[in-house]
Amino acid sequence: MLKYDNKNWFSFIFRHGSKHVEGMWMSVVFMALLTTGLIFLNEETQWLNLEISTTFHTVLGLVLGLLLVFRTNSAYDRWWEGRKQLGALVNTTRNLALKIKLYVKAEDYSKRDEVLHLIYAFAYTMKEHLREEDYSEVQKEVPQATLSKFEKAKHKPNLILHEIGEALKEMYKQELISGEQLIVLETETHQLINILGACERIRNTPIPMAYALHLKRVLLIYALTLPFGFVGQLHWWSIPVVIIVFYTMVGIELIGEEIEDPFGLDENDLPVDELCEKIKANILEISSF
């Protein structure tokens, strides 16, 4: 996720536009060339006589604007919900680590630090689970005692939570924690399960295909017919007007595509790696108290 300062307008608006505009420049050039060709045919060769009313684009633009607003709001809701869940992950891991540290002494339970290790290993495992990437870098964050099971497990975050649950049960059996304390710790573990499920829901439930397909079709029709509505009235001024309108409409759609899956590696995605490092640092500090 990019960090930026938007207080200085001039340096901000001329900075690199990030990945949502990559691949769009060729489309902008194509629209400019299409408009130029139509103007040439209309002005120089008199082969065309374009005097099309702008009513079509006005009406279609209103409908398309409503669709794009809904699309953007839906994508941003997913991005913001993901951010809230990651914030809850930070708080829950802190709470769980603090309570285990306070409830159980290291001299009474030799595996206490291993349990604390599992808590931040869960964050790293969840990150790769949501990205569906390689777990080779995550394995160094997993305790050695759990590593063989981790390599075999299909749903690796579930395994980490299972190991935490087994450790809590063992603490209770050894009477290191009371029944009330066990309930408190299990509540925090249950919260981790809820966070994982919410993030999986965001990751695995894209915008319905019918809606996304219809929006793209309407947007394509609008963009390709846009020059025909301006050439007859604005002439050579049609080129910058078409480019600006096209950039605005298509840019909104591309931004929505980028942020609707907020756990990836795009510049506008959530800072998952940074939060995992923060969780690890917090738990290591808690274990040193």
Whole-prediction pTM value? Answer: 0.85
For residue 279, the model assigns a pLDDT of 95
CA distances (Å), origin 276, targets 19, 23, 36, 116? 24, 31, 51, 14
pLDDT in tens, 173-217: 999 999 999 999 999 999 999 999 999 999 998 888 888 899 999
pLDDT in tens, 96-111: 999 999 999 888 888 8
pLDDT in tens, 44-72: 666 666 666 777 888 888 889 899 998 89
229-238 mean pLDDT: 79
Residue 238 pLDDT class (50, 70, 90 cuts): confident
Alpha helices in the chain (DSSP H): 9-13, 25-43, 55-103, 112-131, 144-152, 156-173, 179-204, 209-234, 238-259, 272-287
Place of tokens 């295909």: 209
Instruction: List Cβ neighbours of 175 (8 Å cut-off, separation of 6 or more).
Output: none
